[in-house]
Structure 1
């Protein structure tokens, strides 16, 4: 079983992103907001994915498959009203860990979140975030992309 161990934070101040890789992302959810499992379509630049995520919080089940643009476009209309658009910047922290910083657009335009993935729950617990990270929202379900896609910014 594939697992994702990640912590999510608000962004207090934007870091220097000049060495980060940028991707334009649009994603939509095929499952209803109250489903415990989410089924998501994602376009990241010119690549297309179908992702299943289960559970919530620090450790989640995650399975992902790359799909064709035609397959993506077949199901995309079913995500109407459950979509998120953002720019994702991927970079490295001084300790070598990778971060993914999302700058949202559309209805979520004022929101910025950063995620860091870990190899173990112990590594996640020991992580000391840099100064530009804000509040830890890992366990706050209001900051799940699926929730924000239907309910908006959780401020």
Structure 2
């Protein structure tokens, strides 16, 4: 990685819990974005390299992200890429892609959630994620009633696994 890219993309630690959705909340008035993401790495790789396009109306943003293996806590490096760079790599992700609409909402305790409504072969799957400032905050979190089962540690619900293997078996 060039020094310029390394300076633009410091390694961050993402502390996140992921849940199934027991009951879909009211989505009216929530910010939403259409997301297409594909994986350059395969299912047996311990790290993932992901391409992501986030489109809201006529505006689209493109990213390449490297994520470490893990469940609750993962290292993440994300850099913006151009549409041309995204397109040049996108074909290499065939067979390892997901499409979803992401809704962002606020929780009462100052936290935000990201609710993903999947499309295509994953239609019907609803996942909600919450990022936390610390592992302690994540462990102390009490999910709202509309959240379903905690699948943070279930590798089958990682987006990469969904892209490669499809819907997890119960």
TM-score w.r.t. the length of structure 1 is 0.98
Instruction: Report which of the two structures shows the higher radius of gyration computed on alpha carbons.
Output: 2
The residue that corresponds to 1:62 in the other structure is 76
Structure 2 match to 1:78: 92
| Partner of residue 32, structure 1 | 42
Q: Which runs of 4+ in 1 moved over 6 A?
A: none
- Of the three residues 149, 154, 164, the one matched with 1:135 is 149
Give the superposition deviation at 1:19.
2.7
Rounded Cα–Cα distance in structure 1 between residues aligned with 2:156 and 2:25: 24
Q: CA shift at 1:6, angstroms?
A: 0.2
The alignment status of 1:118 with 2:142, answered yes or no, reads no
Aligned mates of 2:31, 2:80 — CA distance in 1: 20
2:22 maps to which residue?
12
**Preserved CA contact (<8 Å) 1:7 1:124:** yes
Q: Which of 77, 100, 107 matches 2:121? A: 107
Which consecutive residues of structure 2, in runs of 5 or more, have no partner in the other structure? 1-10
1:16 positional shift: 1.1
How far the C-alpha of 1:40 sits from its partner, in A, is: 0.2
RMSD between aligned alpha carbons? 0.7
**Structure 1 partner of 2:53:** 43
Q: How far apart are residue 18 of structure 1 and its match?
A: 1.5
Q: Alignment partner of 1:41: what SS?
A: strand
Gapped regions of structure 1 (runs ≥ 5): none
